[in-house]
Chains A and B, each alone.
Chain A
Amino acid sequence: MASLLHKEYEVVRDDYSLAGKVSSDIKRTLSAVGISPAVLRRIAVASYESEINMIIHAWGGVITLDVMEDGTIQIVFKDPGPGIADLEKALTPGWSTASEKARNMGFGAGMGLPNIKRVSDEFDIQSSEAGTTLTLGFREQA
Chain B
Amino acid sequence: MKVQELIEKTGWSCATQKAALDRTVNGAFCGDLLSWVMGNGEPEQAWITVQVHMNVIGVASLREFSCIIIADHAVLAEDIIARADEEDIPVIESGLPVYETAKKLVELGI
On A, residues with C-beta under 8 Å from B are: 16-17, 19-21, 23-24, 27, 41, 44-45, 47-49, 52, 105-112, 114-115, 118
Contacts and interface: CB of A to CB of B under 8 A. Distances in A.
Interface of B: 32-36, 38-39, 43, 51, 53-55, 57-59, 61-64, 87
Contacts, number: 68
A115 B43 CA distance: 16
Contact of B36 (A17, A24, A41, A111): A111
Contacts of B36: 109, 111
A106 B43 contact: no
Nearest to B34: A106
8 contacts: A20-B59, A20-B62, A48-B58, A106-B32, A107-B35, A108-B33, A111-B35, A118-B39
B55 A20 contact: yes
Contact of B62 (A23, A108, A109): A23
Nearest to A45: B38
B51 A111 contact: no
Nearest to A108: B33
User: What secondary structure prevails in chain A residues at the interface with B?
Assistant: helix
B53 A109 contact: no
Contact of B58 (A24, A114, A118): A24
Nearest to B61: A24
Contact of A21 (B32, B38, B43, B58): B58
B35 A112 contact: yes
A52 to B, nearest CB: 8
A2 to B, nearest CB: 29
Contact of B35 (A17, A47, A109): A109
- The 6 A-B residue pairs with the shortest CB-CB distance, nearest first, are A20-B58, A111-B35, A109-B33, A115-B39, A44-B62, A106-B34
B36 to A, nearest CB: 5
A65 B84 CA distance: 26
Nearest to B31: A106
A115 B59 CA distance: 14
Given A20-B61, A24-B61, A105 B51 contact: yes
Given A111-B36, A115-B38, A48 B54 contact: no
Contacts of A52: 34-35, 55
Contact of A115 (B35, B54, B55, B62): B35
A114 B39 CA distance: 9
